[in-house]
Structure 1
């Protein structure tokens, strides 16, 4: 039976469980086939804590695009030290990256949405595909509140691009609920969050947002788009 065929029954079971119970259930059901992709955002730091403190058999990895904030890279080291757990860091393929830069230039992503998506594809999407290959469950830190594009997502979904089941354990969490959990559990987070950077990606593509702006407004602020890089395309 294919993974996609199991989707409905899995969804029914997972919807009744809290995030820790659901993560444990899936890691037992798919041993060594459940992976978590962290971008070190606040949601992801919560999930890392849930995995580490409950000693769940879920592999954690992160994508280093080569353009991340120093604060993000420092947070990887601090998180590994706190939980005594390694985070696998993956990088873009050298040849693909060199070809991208030769084609659009070092900052060519500012010139058009097409160029930006090409950059995201090489630095993130291709790397993610390598990380997910051969696995059954992809855990993410997506919340429906983050953007209109994510409001229709479900906790358990089929990701056609990567042929894997995607699990979003914090999908129905509010931002206030997230912050309260971080404070109560003393979870490490990126200091840029305290400076108005709510959604943090690559340094050239992220700015702080003003009061009342959408959480994703600081990502690729110079363009009008769905504010997605292609990792979570619908």
Structure 2
């Protein structure tokens, strides 16, 4: 049975999550493809969680659809990693979704360094709008969210009603710890962004990501020197 956002009622999410409660990550991924078929995409940022989820997804569906929100502002190391992933998993369909405005057009329309003056507006143009266009093509999407990452993600379920994008968000890694993520990466010798070895636990756009000092919140390097803590992809009115 292929499920859609319009078909699933709020109480049905609870029932689905109760059924998946004691399943492992691969079981959740298998359930997702059985439920959504080719109408399922993984929106991947190619962080550490992303590498684990890509590897697990490839075991279930070798030609899975993956989209990366290419803001044009990412680190060179991130683009290099994507090339490595394409080489390691040649059957995966990896698409780089770009904003409608080039960096030059954004400067012309909104002024220079919009990410400093209005970071929410910059994220809307370069992340949220492109993701909306991509998710409009699918019924559901994978996310690598983990509950321990931040208080705003602590209530994330395996299957979530995504009001922002009118979609179904599947999060197979919710119970994984950071230690388990890195154990998996090292055990399976997966490629990963070399910036992780330079005190960048969470990696976004180059202009908005700073290294994190030992003992600081792993996400404190994102949108440093501002009150912003999320780009908006995972905030939909229900805390997810």
Corresponding position: 1:217 with 2:220: yes
Corresponding position: 1:110 with 2:113: no
Structure 2 residue aligned with 1:147, among 146, 150, 168? 150
SS at 2:93's partner residue? coil
Corresponding position: 1:60 with 2:56: no
Match of 1:86 in 2: 93
Structure 2 residue aligned with 1:188, among 186, 191, 212? 191
Match of 2:25 in 1: 19
Higher alpha-carbon deviation: 213-222 or 132-141: 132-141
Match of 1:163 in 2: 166
Q: Is the 8 A contact 2:114 2:121 kept in 1?
A: no
Q: Is the 8 A contact 2:158 2:171 kept in 1?
A: yes
Q: Matches of 2:135 and 2:61 in 1, distance apart?
A: 21
SS at 1:122's partner residue? helix
SS at 1:94's partner residue? coil
SS at 2:126's partner residue? helix
Match of 1:4 in 2: 8
Q: Matches of 1:228 and 1:33 in 2, distance apart?
A: 26
Match of 1:228 in 2: 230
Task: Figure out how many residues of one structure are paired with residues of the other and give that number.
Answer: 229
Q: Matches of 2:89 and 2:147 in 1, distance apart?
A: 28
Tell me the TM-score normalized by structure 1: 0.91
Match of 1:132 in 2: 135
| Cα distance change of structure 1 residues 100 and 3 upon mapping to structure 2, 3 Å threshold | farther
Corresponding position: 1:208 with 2:211: yes
* 1:123-173 per-position Cα deviation (integer Å, ceiling 9, x unaligned): 000000011114222100111111121112222111101111111111111
Q: Matches of 2:158 and 2:32 in 1, distance apart?
A: 13
Higher alpha-carbon deviation: 127-136 or 36-45: 127-136
Structure 2 unpaired stretches of 5+: none
Q: Matches of 1:218 and 1:175 in 2, distance apart?
A: 17
Match of 2:43 in 1: 37
Q: Matches of 2:62 and 2:14 in 1, distance apart?
A: 24
SS at 1:101's partner residue? helix
| Cα distance change of structure 1 residues 9 and 104 upon mapping to structure 2, 3 Å threshold | same
Tell me the TM-score normalized by structure 2: 0.89
Corresponding position: 1:48 with 2:54: yes
